[in-house]
Amino acid sequence: MMIPGVYMALITFPGVVVHEFAHQLFCRLCGVAIFDVKYFQMADPVGYVQHEPVKKPFHQLLISVGPFIVNNILALAIAFPAAIPVFMFNDGSLFDFLLLYLGLSIAMHAFPSTTDAKVMWETIWHGKNVPLWLKIITVPITGLIYAGAMGAVMWLDLVWGMGVAFGLPILIVKFLSQVM
């Protein structure tokens, strides 16, 4: 079933807002000037943060992958307490399903966009005086972002979101039950 990305983004808009907020947060932490922020719109792109070119290339890496860090952590924190009763004990309340919806929405938008990847690639790979280690780690990260973008056509973002919000809490509980 094909659902245009913008409608999918509308259904999962909390994730878009958190995604843009994460870019904004890392701009602030890196002291990078922001010119404009759109948290959500019914257009392509569904959200953006327009910031100045960074002085330190590493800051671009942080700003680009910021949503991956923030969205995943927040999604896991929100979904964790609901995933246990729902998926382990088939005992979910309405509140649990709200938490799971939020967790799924936020985790689905954890992957940086291809625009994020392009900016990162231009800044780091083609940038001047960029340390080699940074260039090296940028290659797989950019590759993963593009793979994620291509996979979104096959609902990879949804699969990722379900994995983080529904599957990861159960895996963590299983793992901790063995070490505790």
Partner 1 sequence: MEEFSNRINLRAAGCAKCHNPRYERGYQVRLCKDCRRELSRYPVTREVIWGALGVSVILLLALFRLPTYFRAGVDYMKAMEFAKERKYVSAEKGFTATLKRFPGHVGSIVHLITASYFNDDQTRTDSLYSVLTATHTTSDDQDLVDELTIVTDNSRYFSIQDSTISNQLDALRADTTAYCKVLEDYLKKAPYDLAAAVNLAYAYLELKNYKGADSLCRKAIHDAPLFRPPYFELLASLKEQGRYKEGLILTQQLLDQNKEAPSALLTLSTFQLKLKKDKEALITAQQAFQLEPENPDVLTTLCMAYHFNHQQVESNRLLTKLKDMPGSDSSHVAMLQNIITDKTPYRD
Closest CA to 137 of 67, 58, 63: 58
Measure the CA–CA gap between 20 and 146, rounded to whole angstroms: 18
Question: Which residue of 85, 131, 140, 163 would you call a contact of partner 1, by CB under 8 A?
Answer: 85
Supply the minimum distance, in Å, between the C-beta of residue 53 and partner 1.
4
Q: Does 115 bind partner 1 (CB under 8 A)?
A: no
Residue 143 token pair: 């590759």
The residue among 42 and 98 lying less far from partner 1, judged by its C-beta, is 98
The residue among 61 and 99 lying less far from partner 1, judged by its C-beta, is 99
Q: Does 95 bind partner 1 (CB under 8 A)?
A: yes
Question: Which residue of 11, 34, 42, 43 would you call a contact of partner 1, by CB under 8 A?
Answer: 34
Question: Which residue of 21, 68, 121, 160 would you call a contact of partner 1, by CB under 8 A?
Answer: 21
Number of residues that bind partner 1 (CB under 8 A): 42
Residue 49 makes CB contacts below 8 A (sequence gap 6+) with 20, 23, 24, 27, 34, 36, 37, 38
